[in-house]
Chain A
Amino acid sequence: MMLAAAFTSRRGTLLLLVAVMLLVPLVAPSSFYLRVAALVWIFALAALGLTIVMGYAGQVSLGHAGFLGIGAYAVAIGPRHLALDPLLSLALGALLCGLVAYLVGKPILKLKGYYLAIATLGFGLIVALVLASESAVTGGPDGMPVARLSLFGWRVTGALTWYWVTAGALLLGALLALNVEASPTGRALRALHDSEIAAAGAGVDVASKKLAAFVIGAVYAGIAGALLALMNGLITPETAGFMHSIELVAMVIIGGLGSVTGAVVGAAFLVVLPQALTSLQEYEQAVLGLLIMVFMIFLPSGIVPTLRRLVLERAS
């Protein structure tokens, strides 16, 4: 029953997440495991943003790491070149992501299907290119250092501290995403995911709802990027790279399209698995690819929706 509640109710999902977050530091034998877990929370936050775009609104974005990069470089450039507080830079970076998503999304979201995927792909590539070549501001391909974050005179350092900061951010993000899902906007988004024509017929403002989803998703990715940069203390243009965009899409699909838990599970899958496979050395990439294929063939709707179906069938 408990398990069923975790899959069906908002409170159940959040409680499950909190339980896992409390458990990990108790069993983690070294700071390495805490760092990996913190990376899972950060990428889960970015994947959550993409879940809103892809899972709720049904729009494919192949350039989402571009927003990760914008958010990350905001906390690097703000304190360094503009003498801004890191926390203020984080907020401005998230705002900038939303603004850029609005400006880019307005014309792009009129396109449908593959055109949208290609347009967002182009956007991501442009961001990565600008970050790598504007070396006077961004430090070029070698990246740039990021000032340490301090909150009310308290310096945020150490693996455990960052574990809790990122866990808190993800929890907040999950809460918001669950509320969006249940709001009228969420229902409208799911309607247009199923059929744009039917949704428009039912009075949903398709273009503005799609744009809203894209903007929210970009803000999520921006904040995730900022957290990544602040935790590492250094940021390089690869953060915004094409491979990261693909990784985010893979997280959302493997975990289960349109599910908050799915985004977290997908992020955990793609962050933890490469670490578990390192002893395979040169076969690592091949086995990773094979495992993704196996999961997609046997669990085509993603890990979480499949589990949910199994648990609900057993409960009934």
Chain B
Amino acid sequence: MGTTIVRRWMLRAAAVSTAVSAVVLHAGGSGALAAEPIRIGAVLSVTGSAAFLGDPEAKTLKIYVDEINRKGGLLGRPVQLVLYDDGGDANKARTFATRLVGDNKVIAMVGGTGTGTTLAMMPVFEEAEIPFVSLAGGIEIVEPARPFVFKTPHTDKTACQKVFEDMKLRGFTKIALISGTDGFGKSMRNQCLKVTGDYGISILADESYGPADADMTPQLNKIKNTAGVQAVLNPGFGQGPAIVTRNYAQLGISLPFYQSHGVASKSFIELAGSAAEGVRLPAPALLVADKLAPEDKQKAVVSEYKKTYETATGQPVSTFGGYAFDGIQLLVKAIERAKSVDPRAIRDELEATRDYVGVTGIYTMAPNDHLGLGAESFRMLEIKGGEWVPAAQPR
């Protein structure tokens, strides 16, 4: 009797698993298309703690691959996006990378949401000699430049350069830093210290605060009482910079105040309230898409992306999706120029990218520069009346 019950259970389990594998097979076999599709791989953190980055990236890639296919494909062939979700886990990302290379036979790859997952996948693509355009921020992805690895997001260094450029134009050479000790704040502080010399800037005070601190008045008081400081910069991410901004106003410090691209979100303005008035920050053009001057080179592509993404998803556009837009466009343009799907030829054309006007900035790559973005990819914004506006040009 026991056996029959077990057998019946086994049969039922078998039925369920057959049904499941039928679904798998059905979903796997995409519609029959005339020509052999060009396969482009993507491994993104669509779920997990980095989902707020990976989700808009995945949506953007799907929207634009569909668009390419609607317009007749690439080199007369349809494009197939092979997308995997690593859930933010570097080990899973590495497995999917080997799968893309060994099993799916992709000719190029866009993706890698985080720096950790990108670093885990890089050796796979370097070894297979397949171009890999990462969407992660870390500067170690492209420094030193590896033959097959590229990336689209600007780095902390670019943000520092933009801020220092603005300071130099306004004649500020003696400044104070107050940075968060979290990953973002620390990394940006280090990058900033490396480039101060290029702009003749000296740091008179270098304060820091923990990611969970609720009051930064002691550090700010120290800066206030340091003689000769002309401007203050706050590299930080999350709620820390909002508290610093509020304390800054409470102490009545009248020095010009610079925030980083880490606070380029509406929630910063909400948290800091009226204290955010007059704060300057470097940010991508996408944030002020509707306020760009008509002659602005990026205006057309930025508004087009914003419109397409917002109509297709019904969600507000984010800079992270913009990284994916630039990644797929850079790749598609390289394939068109190469007139071939040979990974080596695509790599050569990616490296030869000149003046590609994207959502994030204007890219010009070089053998030792696989990012290709300068400080001009950031706009200096100022917060006025609870909104971002392009900062007035200093003279």
Contacts and interface: CB of A to CB of B under 8 A. Distances in A.
Note whether A and B form a binding pair. Answer: yes
A36 interface: yes
Nearest to B25: A279
30 contacts: A29-B103, A30-B102, A30-B103, A32-B98, A33-B102, A36-B95, A135-B183, A135-B186, A141-B116, A142-B114, A143-B116, A143-B119, A143-B120, A228-B91, A232-B90, A232-B91, A233-B120, A234-B90, A234-B119, A236-B90, A236-B91, A274-B92, A279-B24, A279-B28, A280-B24, A281-B83, A294-B16, A298-B12, A299-B9, A309-B6
Interface in A96-153: 135, 140-143, 145
B153 interface: no
Tell me which of A29, A275, A285, A306 has the highest count of chain B C-beta atoms within 10 A of its own C-beta: A275
A35 B27 contact: no
Which applies to chain A's interface (DSSP): helix, strand, loop or mixed?
helix
Contact of B88 (A33, A238, A298): A238
A159 B95 CA distance: 11
B123 interface: yes
Nearest to A31: B102
Tell me which of A143, A228, A234, A235 has the highest count of chain B C-beta atoms within 10 A of its own C-beta: A234
Contacts of A277: 24
Contacts of B20: 287, 291
Q: Which of the four size classes fits the interface of chain B? A: 35 or more
Contact of A298 (B9, B84, B94, B98): B9
Interface string B266-307: 000000000000000000000000000000000000000000
A278 interface: yes
Contacts of B84: 278
B212 to A, nearest CB: 11
A284 B17 CA distance: 14
Interface in B27-49: 27-28, 47
Interface in A292-316: 294-295, 298-299, 306, 309-310, 313
A285 B85 CA distance: 11
Which applies to chain B's interface (DSSP): helix, strand, loop or mixed?
helix
A185 B95 CA distance: 38
B93 to A, nearest CB: 9
A156 B329 CA distance: 38
B157 to A, nearest CB: 16
A239 interface: yes
A313 B3 contact: yes
B312 interface: no
A299 B102 CA distance: 35
A144 to B, nearest CB: 9
A35 B95 CA distance: 7
Interface string A1-38: 00000000000000000000000000001111101100
Contacts of A228: 91
A277 to B, nearest CB: 7
B98 to A, nearest CB: 5
Interface in B106-131: 114-116, 119-120, 123
Contacts of A159: 98
A233 B13 contact: no
Interface in B321-364: none
A153 B15 CA distance: 52
Given A32-B101, A277-B24, 18 more contacts: A30-B102, A30-B103, A31-B98, A32-B95, A32-B99, A142-B183, A143-B90, A143-B119, A143-B120, A232-B90, A233-B123, A234-B90, A234-B116, A236-B120, A238-B90, A284-B85, A285-B47, A298-B10
Contact of B115 (A39, A142, A279, A310): A142
Nearest to A145: B119
Contact of B24 (A234, A276, A295, A309): A276
Closest 10 pairs (CB-CB, A-B): A30-B102, A32-B102, A236-B90, A142-B116, A298-B9, A279-B27, A142-B115, A279-B28, A236-B116, A32-B99
